[in-house]
Copies of this chain bind each other. A is one copy, B any other.
């Protein structure tokens, strides 16, 4: 059986859970206490030298890092990833967009607003994060003028990857009212079979995060 090492409050980890639930795959979830240093132990670094979750582990001990690589591997051969080479390349383009142009702004703004003290110097980063995050959201809104999904002709892993931090962008101070198509798309994702929401933030974990910052 697959084991996922993850942190439930993390959108990147939620991506993997959502896909596994929608695929109906059995899996073990190992909750990792990253704020308490659980991704920096020698044991964890032996599994992922980059010290990050999510991390997928097979029964024989082989591991796979990077949320979007995990999604691609799990989705291969299923309807969650197009089989056509060109459509698959487009999907991959969006996956890299998510990790380079979207997550570093939309997710990081949520982290700073939700998990750092009100007087944290990191709050000075917010204006730039908002500017870049809105650029990414505008690119998504534009795509939805002519398409219902990001993964190709049907719902799939790109929608999962982009949903993870877009649906909670308001936590980072992003007003989604200016993106009506995005709002409709979020509702379509929530209506897909087997959809599960991201776990709400745990107050005690938030407090630990703030201490770790």
Q: Which residues of A contact B (CB under 8 A)?
A: 49-50, 52, 62, 64-70, 72-73, 76, 85-86, 89-90, 92-93, 95-97, 99-101, 103-104, 136, 139, 142-143
Contact = CB atoms under 8 A, between A and B. Distances in A.
Given A49-B143, A64-B90, 14 more contacts: A49-B142, A52-B101, A64-B93, A65-B93, A66-B92, A66-B96, A66-B100, A68-B92, A69-B93, A72-B92, A96-B96, A99-B100, A100-B104, A104-B104
Given A49-B142, A143-B49, A89 B101 contact: no
Contacts of A143: 49
Contacts of A96: 66-69, 95-96, 99
B89 A73 contact: yes
A75 to B, nearest CB: 11
Given A86-B62, A89-B73, A50 B101 contact: yes
A202 to B, nearest CB: 25
A36 B64 CA distance: 41
A70 to B, nearest CB: 8
Contacts of A69: 89-90, 92-93, 95-96
A62 B52 CA distance: 36
Nearest to A45: B142
6 contacts: A65-B97, A72-B89, A73-B89, A73-B92, A100-B103, A100-B104
Given A49-B143, A96-B99, A100-B100, A85 B89 contact: no
B66 A76 contact: no
A92 B56 CA distance: 14
A90 B66 CA distance: 9
